[in-house]
Structure 1
Amino acid sequence: MSGLFADAEDVRCRLDAVGYLVDEGTATALHLAAALGRPLLLEGEPGVGKTSAAKALAAALDTPLIRLQCYEGLSASEALYEWNHQRQLLAVRLAESRGDTLDGSGLFTEEFLLDRPLLKAVRHDGPLPPVLLVDEIDRADDEFEALLFEFLGESAVTVPELGTFAAVRPPLVVLTSNRSRELHDALRRRCLYHWIDFPSPERAAEILRRSVPAAAEPLIASATAFIGRARTLDLDKAPGLAEAIDWVSALTALRVTRLTRADIVTTLSTVAKSPDDRTTLTDSLDDLGPPPVG
């Protein structure tokens, strides 16, 4: 897949053009994944922009984004493929009405095959490879990871009744994990790896400017500082970029231009995602609130 990007700087500029600000490390990881044709595993705290990186990559390349959202109990049929049983049953009844019979070979053909995300990515026939996002792989069961090995290693999916489908243009695969559990070494070995940190205050402020263009500059500065200091507390869920954007959007909707204690208390539900976190933040306002506090 060489030729998709010239270098890491090209990645950074093209993602910037679609509204995603990326640091040098993430730009390099995305460039290497594209150049080497290797899946990329992105890990980091919730809200640092892992999913958004895959979305921006697809937008920058103007290629389809195919998303597989993982969860406990995710099955092979939901991820790989399944058979259209309704159409198969209809075909059997039509054959019977004509006095014919359909055996297994007539029922298990591509006509009755339903592509799910992995097979859809393999069978994509566009001019550029699609971006396949395997989102929150750590939420899936351990056994599901084993189902990915053939796909990740060979960009192929085997359908026992039809054989193996191999990608003409292997998809750009981005897996994300919040580290809610440890992933198998076998999965990690098949991927390049990059950890995404919370953005620096300067980059966070620029992201907020782009995401909430109506926000006042003093509000962006004070909100960025508050969020950064809040992450140093012992919270159940440290506020990420998503929470920061929601918070500044809420404050702007309330026509707040300068952050005060009252504003923080009124809108804290956009930052704190549990009762304990709300209590911790409220008790720490004297330390976290930007001066002056009204």
Structure 2
Amino acid sequence: MQASPLDLAQSLKEEGYLIDEESATTLFLSLALGKPCLIEGPAGVGKTQLALALARTEKRKLIRLQCYEGLDLNKALYDWNYAKQLLRLQLSKTEEWDEIKVDLFSEEFLLTRPLLESILSPVPVLLLIDELDKSDEEFESFLLELLAERQVTIPELGTISAKTSPIVILTSNNTRDFSDALRRRCIHIYLAYPTLELEISILRSQAPELSDRLVKDVCEFVARVRKLSLQKPPSVSETIDFARALKALQKETLNYGELMGTLSVLLKYPKDIAKLEERLKKWETEASQRLE
């Protein structure tokens, strides 16, 4: 663990992730207090990337559970190896059922899923529970024991406590609210879209081949686009892709009149693209008037 929030921010920077001072302090306290960290914010602001960079910084194996609608314990926690259990039954015809039953539901026949894998790991890991808001409230309730006590309960085996204490990171795109019980167990970070200065730094870090002028032009343009009423504002990764697309077209500056055909790199919905194309005509006119 890093000695201070500043050290943590520097270590994350060395792994290619730039974080603001406030978020670095909150994340540091999560690690220092041994509490799960719930990272919330719009899609594409770097929540998952922060968890990945933290795993590298802390030199921990990453175990990732990608949440989705309908996720259940058989996919998230454990399942039984039914084929192996059936074979055991076929080879145990002379044994008493009570003896066989105890054997069938032992760790030998257990298939570990990400949550249980993080609990049973003999070395410290980082458990990333990604996009928790896509799962249902029943699954959220199940997580409470893991988040609070670093243990899980399997009916056939009982309670299993963590061999080492995993770092637990949860992410959410805020598509639904969480219970007070879950929030109470976590320390929270809200990642918004980066400031202009931070996004310029991120773009320079991730795409050093770009000229300073193009980096500045693209980040100022994207900041302006995000102020529009869009179905999905551009994410940081889309900013990077857009800047690289302009570079591929041998552009060293951004010109409003030369962006047709490039906007689908930045925006993902036809209505958003159409809205921006219409706005570009106005921006181009305004820019021309300023030059006159």
Q: Cα deviation per residue 1:156-185 (whole Å; 9 max; x = unaligned)?
A: 011222221111322111111111111111
For residues 114 and 283 of structure 2, the distance between their equivalents in structure 1, rounded to whole angstroms, comes to 44
Aligned partner of 1:237 among 211, 224, 232: 232
Distance of aligned partners of 1:50 and 1:287 in 2 relative to their CA distance in 1, 3 Å threshold:
farther
Is structure 2 residue 273 aligned with structure 1 residue 281?
Answer: no
What SS is found at the alignment partner of 1:41? strand
For residues 202 and 40 of structure 2, the distance between their equivalents in structure 1, rounded to whole angstroms, comes to 20
Superposed counterparts of 1:77-156, under 5 Å = 77-96=74-93, 103-126=100-123, 129-156=124-151
Q: Cα deviation per residue 1:246-290 (whole Å; 9 max; x = unaligned)?
A: 212222233322222354222101111111111111111145569
Q: CA deviation at 1:50?
A: 0.6
Superposed counterparts of 1:130-279, under 5 Å = 130-279=125-274
Count of aligned positions: 286
For residues 282 and 82 of structure 1, the distance between their equivalents in structure 2, rounded to whole angstroms, comes to 51
Corresponding letter in the other structure for 1:176: T
Q: Cα deviation per residue 1:90-138 (whole Å; 9 max; x = unaligned)?
A: 2223445xx5566221111111111111111111111xx3111111111
RMSD (Å), alpha carbons: 1.9
Which consecutive segments of 4 or more residues in structure 1 shift more than 6 A?
none
What SS is found at the alignment partner of 1:258? coil
For residues 237 and 50 of structure 2, the distance between their equivalents in structure 1, rounded to whole angstroms, comes to 13
For residues 245 and 86 of structure 1, the distance between their equivalents in structure 2, rounded to whole angstroms, comes to 48
For residues 145 and 274 of structure 2, the distance between their equivalents in structure 1, rounded to whole angstroms, comes to 47
For residues 76 and 34 of structure 1, the distance between their equivalents in structure 2, rounded to whole angstroms, comes to 27
Q: CA deviation at 1:221?
A: 1.0
What SS is found at the alignment partner of 2:262? helix
Q: CA deviation at 1:240?
A: 1.4
Q: Percent identity?
A: 43
TM-score by length of 1: 0.92
For residues 5 and 255 of structure 2, the distance between their equivalents in structure 1, rounded to whole angstroms, comes to 41
Greater alpha carbon shift after TM alignment, 171-180 vs 210-219: 210-219
Aligned partner of 1:48 among 45, 49, 61: 45
Q: Cα deviation per residue 1:188-245 (whole Å; 9 max; x = unaligned)?
A: 1111111112111111112112222222222111110011011111011111102111
Q: CA deviation at 1:56?
A: 0.5
Is structure 2 residue 36 aligned with structure 1 residue 39?
Answer: yes
Whether the aligned pair in 1 keeps the contact of 2:130 and 2:171 (CA below 8 Å) is yes
Whether the aligned pair in 2 keeps the contact of 1:14 and 1:60 (CA below 8 Å) is yes
For residues 272 and 106 of structure 2, the distance between their equivalents in structure 1, rounded to whole angstroms, comes to 54
For residues 246 and 65 of structure 2, the distance between their equivalents in structure 1, rounded to whole angstroms, comes to 33
Corresponding letter in the other structure for 1:208: L
For residues 67 and 120 of structure 2, the distance between their equivalents in structure 1, rounded to whole angstroms, comes to 21
Greater alpha carbon shift after TM alignment, 146-155 vs 87-96: 87-96
Is structure 2 residue 65 aligned with structure 1 residue 68?
Answer: yes
What SS is found at the alignment partner of 1:132? strand
Corresponding letter in the other structure for 2:35: R
Distance of aligned partners of 1:113 and 1:218 in 2 relative to their CA distance in 1, 3 Å threshold:
same
Whether the aligned pair in 2 keeps the contact of 1:71 and 1:139 (CA below 8 Å) is yes
Structure 1 residue runs without a partner (length 5+): none
Structure 2 residue runs without a partner (length 5+): none
TM-score by length of 2: 0.92
Corresponding letter in the other structure for 2:87: L
Whether the aligned pair in 2 keeps the contact of 1:92 and 1:101 (CA below 8 Å) is no
For residues 209 and 42 of structure 1, the distance between their equivalents in structure 2, rounded to whole angstroms, comes to 24
Whether the aligned pair in 1 keeps the contact of 2:27 and 2:189 (CA below 8 Å) is no
